[in-house]
Amino acid sequence: AQKVTQAQTEISVVEKEDVTLDCVYETRDTTYYLFWYKQPPSGELVFLIRRNSFDEQNEISGRYSWNFQKSTSSFNFTITASQVVDSAVYFCALSENSGGGADGLTFGKGTHLIIQP
């Protein structure tokens, strides 16, 4: 069974600080996909990134970066120079193929990130 753990329930930092959100996953599949979604106060979920299990290259997009390490089953998300608009709940999610078909997303419980001005 797949499982995603986001141990940090809530993080509060002051604007301009760097912050890392942790995500640890469990899966028995060799082919799987990892995602991060953002849920701002307005409520909708917004896609941030997708990674497949064969691509361990880290990715940077502006102030956002992701570190994927299969050895530790982790897919951590770092925001550099945080801004108040980054305040949201961030979800890590996992999708794997089983029984010949793709399973839907399994989400972690989310990390509530608060950026204080």
Contact positions vs another protein (CB under 8 A) = 33, 35, 37, 42-47, 50, 52, 91, 95, 97, 101-110
| Shortest Cβ 56–another protein spacing (Å) | 17
Judged on CB neighbours under 10 Å (0-12, 13-18, 19+), 109 is middle
| Shortest Cβ 13–another protein spacing (Å) | 23
Cβ distance to another protein smaller for residue 78 or 98: 98
| Shortest Cβ 61–another protein spacing (Å) | 14
The count of C-alpha atoms lying within 13 angstroms of the C-alpha of 86, restricted to the half-sphere facing its C-beta, is 28
Cα–Cα dist 6/108, whole Å: 6
Cβ distance to another protein smaller for residue 82 or 88: 88
**Residue 1 CA: distances (Å) to CA of 22, 56, 97, 99, 109:** 20, 22, 11, 12, 16
Residue type, 4: V
Cα–Cα dist 55/67, whole Å: 11
Cβ distance to another protein smaller for residue 33 or 64: 33
| Shortest Cβ 1–another protein spacing (Å) | 12
Cβ distance to another protein smaller for residue 101 or 117: 101
